Chains A and B, each alone.
Chain A
Amino acid sequence: MELYKLSTVELSEKLKNKEIDSAVLYTRLVERIKSVEGKMNAFARYYEKPCHLIKNKDNYAVNKGLYGLPVAIKDNICIKGKETTCSSKILQGFKAPYDATVISRLKGAGASFIGQTNMDEFAFGSSTETSFYGPTHNPWDLERVPGGSSGGSAAAVAADEAIVALGSDTGGSIRQPAAMCGIVGLKPTYGRVSRYGLIAFASSLDQIGTLSKTVEDAALIMNIISGKDELDSTSCDVEVPDFLEVIKGDIKGLKAGIPKEYFIEGLDDEVKTIVKEAIETLKKLGVEVEEISLPHTKYAVSTYYLIAPAEASSNLARFDGVQYGIRQSASDLADMYKNTRAEGFGQEAIRRIILGTYSLSSGYYEAYYLKALKARAVIANDFKEAFKKVDFILTPTAPTTAFKINEKINDSLQMYLSDIYTIPVNLAGIPAMSVPCGFDSKKLPVGLQIITKAFDEATIFKVAYSYQQNTLWHKEKPKL
């Protein structure tokens, strides 16, 4: 049996019932990685021996057990004692001195860790091409990108190099690659999952979430990682439902909104048709559908690309060659900073740091940063108004299927626009999931995005699970 092809829920059952041994599963997964990683480059690094193994099985929480199941982790989430680099040159050699909260919770549930997945440098990108380790390839077409910035996590799960993975989503970095690789990607509500130990990109937007083969798998992992953490003051003390239970709820009579602003110029015709078919499927399952308006959608990309780089320029000031990472020596301190940062940061990181520094600088703050914060309020309010009328919103996850490697890397604006449907969700702080909903004529996957109000992941899970129970898209595997 090809164990690595099974879902997280299936494997945790088998591990729990002692039908399989976690060491055997780990070995099979490493063999799989070795056989396809040369084509994929989905990992920044992986471990031939489990990087963490709990031996005392009595520690496993009954409903939360992973029983030694290996999880893949994006290269910006700290695992104690392991190199964690954000796939950047500037953090080469940095071994995290502590565990992120999501890591300690996964350890507590009996997870091991197979490795850290490749990503756009510091999560700056939508294609995983800006990594210091080179681009990750899309398993559905190796000449194409997997999306980004969690492209390594998405590609690893899609290519069965990982059972399940964690990623981070600041403007679509979980959902967009999940869509482009044909898997399930969840960005929880801002504050639902602790960000302690996630190397910060844009702190008001960043959120850790899951990349998985099925909706149930996402629910299983969310049961483990959700909830208030005193080490992250922005994590919320809101009750966490048992997502594996709520998932089975009925969706008959729920109201879905289709925002007209998401189905205009720029959306690929095939993607549009496929997403509309998915909406029809949900209608047949009893969902009531109505057109809605999110009138300020067109301002979202500009707003995001002012706010996110501004926060990034501040967060990345700490990478200066003093306390960790690489250092380029110089005779005085200022030159040491400048040389180190020039040497350590890639082009997109430098572009965003300079853009962010500019929008925060004296004389431009009001015209750019402050204006963007006001636009953010307007965009967030669009969603508030919409959720007075509907229970959830359905959109395409990305305007196109996976594009070719090098196609957009030299055109920043085109790259930024590939996040046009995912960015508004981060600006509003609400949750959203991408689920596989079909393939275009090139056999490239398309994702359906399900959005709800804050802390209503339960509705997302219900809708996504019902959809997945009635479709087979998530069962298709790329040929490698």
Chain B
Amino acid sequence: MDVKYVAELAKIKLTPEEAEKLQLQLDNILCFFKDLENLNTENIEPLSHVLDVKNVFREDVPRDSISKQDILNLAPQKDDDFIKVPKVVG
């Protein structure tokens, strides 16, 4: 695993020391996972969800939701009716 690359994908800034330490720890953990290679999973369907439930629908009727103001109040920075973030396009 290339920890620096994966940290970039996960959007987490790491110092070089942190990256080095994590690299060692995660290589060790991935090594432990190798025992799974001994398990024959040919013709086994992957199980992503334990319950046999299909798409769940409800009646499409309008109902009250959490108010816009309640949500805006949680934002670290806001401007009027908007959540404010650093500039995205140059």
Q: Which residues of A contact B (CB under 8 A)?
A: 94-95, 97-98, 190-191, 204, 230, 233-234, 236, 296, 298-299, 302-303, 305-306, 313, 317, 320-327, 329-339, 341-342, 345, 350-351, 353-355, 357-358, 361, 368, 370-378, 380, 412-413, 428-429, 454
Contact = CB atoms under 8 A, between A and B. Distances in A.
A191 B36 contact: no
A297 to B, nearest CB: 12
Contacts of A412: 25, 28-29
A413 B28 contact: yes
A370 to B, nearest CB: 6
Contacts of A337: 11
Contacts of A204: 48-50
Interface of B is mostly: loop
B6 A299 contact: no
Contacts of A296: 39
Interface in B6-39: 6-7, 9-14, 18, 22, 25-26, 28-29, 32-33, 35-36, 39
Nearest to B69: A97
B41 A322 contact: no
Interface in B49-89: 49-51, 53, 56, 58, 66, 70-71, 74-77, 83, 85-88
Size bin of chain B's contact surface: 35 or more
Contacts of A373: 46-48
A345 B51 CA distance: 32
B32 A302 contact: yes
Contact of A329 (B12, B44, B86): B86
Interface of A is mostly: helix
B87 A333 contact: yes
Contacts of A355: 26, 29
A189 to B, nearest CB: 9
B77 A327 contact: yes
B22 A374 contact: no
A373 B46 CA distance: 5
B58 to A, nearest CB: 6
Contacts of B14: 342, 350
A53 to B, nearest CB: 22
Nearest to A298: B35
A230 B83 CA distance: 30
A126 B29 CA distance: 16
A333 B86 contact: yes
Given A204-B49, A333-B85, A358-B1, A305 B33 contact: yes
A336 B76 CA distance: 12
A83 B29 CA distance: 34
Given A299-B36, A380-B47, A428-B50, A334 B1 contact: no
